[in-house]
Structure 1
Amino acid sequence: MPLDHFSVIVPAAKLDGMVEFLISSLGHLGFKEHMRPIPTVIGMGDAMPFLWLYGAEAAEGDVATTQEKLIKMQHIAFTAENAEQVRAYHAAALKAGGTCNGAPGPRPQYHPGYYGAFVLDPVCGINVEVVCHSCVGEA
């Protein structure tokens, strides 16, 4: 199962500089900014966004809270070939101790045919997703 997309957390004050660097250094390969659903979240890639940059504000004087916040902002997604693989992942991840963070189902707010499931891992609470991008008509 190939990697589908992932997120990287950067200081909010450095977010635009990171975008400029990535476009300047990878633009010749077709790498570009695709979307900013909110000002501190940027989807980047070539044909589609596969790298998501999140700008995070540090909590003053509370390193533990800041680290916990950054860990929970991490996200990694894997590509499934069909909705059944997405459902099987979700069931297996819950059986392995994960916590549901989004049951298997269509996510038309992302794009037509997007069918995914989200589980927080039981160790760090990182959001792990499996997604099918061509599951049009699945419920």
Structure 2
Amino acid sequence: MKIDHGGIVVPTEKLDGVVNFLIATLGHMGFKEIMRPIPTAVGMGDTGPYFWVQGCAMDDVTAKEISKRQHTAFTAETVEQVQQFHEAALKAGATDNGAPGPRNHYHPGYYGAFVRDPVCGINFEVVIHDHQG
């Protein structure tokens, strides 16, 4: 089963920063802003909005706790897309949280890369599940 839609919550003042980071790091896979039905909600995806970035008023302590606990993984079609994501993320100011490579302790064929975005520190991943290398 595939997820129909989901998203993350960020401080309202960091909304555009996170959206711009996601476009900079996932744009090579067709990921873009699709719609913004209200100023604090951005629907993103490739052909339709399936990933939402929601702005929310919060204090610094709450924002740090929420950011540390959030994780979102995007599926790649190729190892090259995983590597391109990681490279683009570091160039966009992200912190490495796991260089591209196999993660057989998750399951055989798992190849992913992890970063923490420079805006909120959210752990983003791009993964391919059927890597044969």
TM tier relative to shorter chain = 0.5 to 0.7
For residues 81-104 of structure 1, give each alpha carbon's deviation from its aligned partner in whole angstroms, at most 9, with x where no partner exists.
Answer: 111110111001100111100000
Separation (CA, whole Å) in 2 of partners of 1:3 and 1:71: 21
* Number of equivalent positions: 83
| Residue of structure 2 aligned with 1:100, choices 81, 91, 96 | 96
Q: Which amino acid aligns with 1:75?
A: H
**Would you identify which runs of 4 or more consecutive aligned residues in structure 1 move more than 2 Å?**
2-8, 63-67
Residues 118-137 of structure 1, C-alpha deviations (whole Å, 9 max, x = no match): 01101000011100001122
Question: Which of 119, 125, 128 is equivalent to 2:121?
Answer: 125
Q: What are structure 1's unaligned runs of at least 5 residues?
A: 9-62
Amino acid of the residue matched to residue 107 of structure 1?
Answer: R
* Sequence identity percentage: 62
| Cα RMSD for the two superposed structures | 2.9
2:67 matched to 1:71?
A: yes
- The TM-score with structure 2 as length reference comes to 0.54
Cα 1:110–1:4 change in 2 (3 A) is farther
In structure 2, the residue matched to 1:85 is 81
Q: Show structure 2 runs of 5+ residues with no match.
A: 9-58
